[in-house]
Structures are given as C-alpha cells and as structure tokens.
Amino acid sequence: MKTVMPKVDAVDIKWYVIDGEDQVLGRLASQVATLIRGKHKPQFTPHLDLGDHVIVINADKIRVTGRKEQQKSYTRYSGFPGGLKTMTLEKMLQSRPERVVQHAIKGMLPKNTLGRQMMKKLKVYKGAEHPHQAQQPEVLPERLRRV
C-alpha cells in the first residue's frame, strides 16, 4: 500500500455563501471553520490547505445564547502602559459585527502559518450584499450543514 498525497492544484476548491441571520455564533463559526480547513473532504490532510472559500453575510444579525452579550468581552492591548482596551460583545456587534465572526472562526483554526493562510479564505460582510459574484458562490448544501 502506498500513501497517496493529494496535490493542492488537483483539489476542487469551491466558494460557499452562508447567511448568518438568526444563527448562533459558535455553531456558525464551527461550521465555517470546518469548511475553511477542508475537513469535509475525503482527501483532507492536516498539513495542507485544501479547504474552500466561505462568504458569511448578515454578520450583524447573528445571535448568541445566554447573557453573553453583556458578559463576553474582547480585549486588545497596544503595548503601552494604560493601553488595555476592553469591549463587550454587545458594543462590538453594534460597531464591528464582522470582527466578532472573524474572531470566533480564527479561534477554531490552527495557530500557525497554515491557520493564517486559511483565514484569507474567509470573507465576512455586515449586510446581505457581497462583491464576490464573479466567483459564482453556491449556497451551502444541506449535507454540509450542521445544526
């Protein structure tokens, strides 16, 4: 038996559109991370980037469960004394809902060069419009959806 390594050029890379309206943030993020990583494909290889491109629309209409809107906080630090800034999920969803979705998905990808390369396959938009019509994205089929 020989081990067959898939060629990155030979793998069929698709574009998918996922509507984030009324979807729970964590469940949406895990579904998108699986698609970007390529784990839904039979030729999945952990050290190769064989995943698909994903467009998430209506990021401003996602929802969270429990009291996460008031309790969950996002922290960033400038590196200077007194440069620590925190923002609740509620304020972050009002100002930058795209970042909330990106942050959730990024946490589910590998923390290395390959993970950063995979993040480039993610496009998140606040509204229902996106500029990727030329790539002919498909709506995610039922067999790939997990609820």
In this structure, what CATH number is given to the domain that contains residue 39?
A: 3.90.1180.10
Six token digits for residue 131: 């500029």
Three-state secondary structure of 73-102: EEEEECCCCCCEEEEEHHHHHHHCHHHHHH
| pLDDT single digits (tens) 82-132 | 999 999 999 999 999 999 999 999 999 999 999 999 999 999 999 999 999
Instruction: Output the pLDDT for position 10.
Output: 87
Instruction: Output the pLDDT for position 147.
Output: 52
In our burial notation (b when 16+ CB lie closer than 10 A, e otherwise), range 81-90 reads eeeeeebebe
Q: Is residue 66 part of a domain?
A: yes
Query: Domain range for residue 84?
Result: 15-142
| Domains in the chain, number | 1
Residues 6+ apart with CB under 8 A from 28: 18, 20, 56, 62, 101, 104
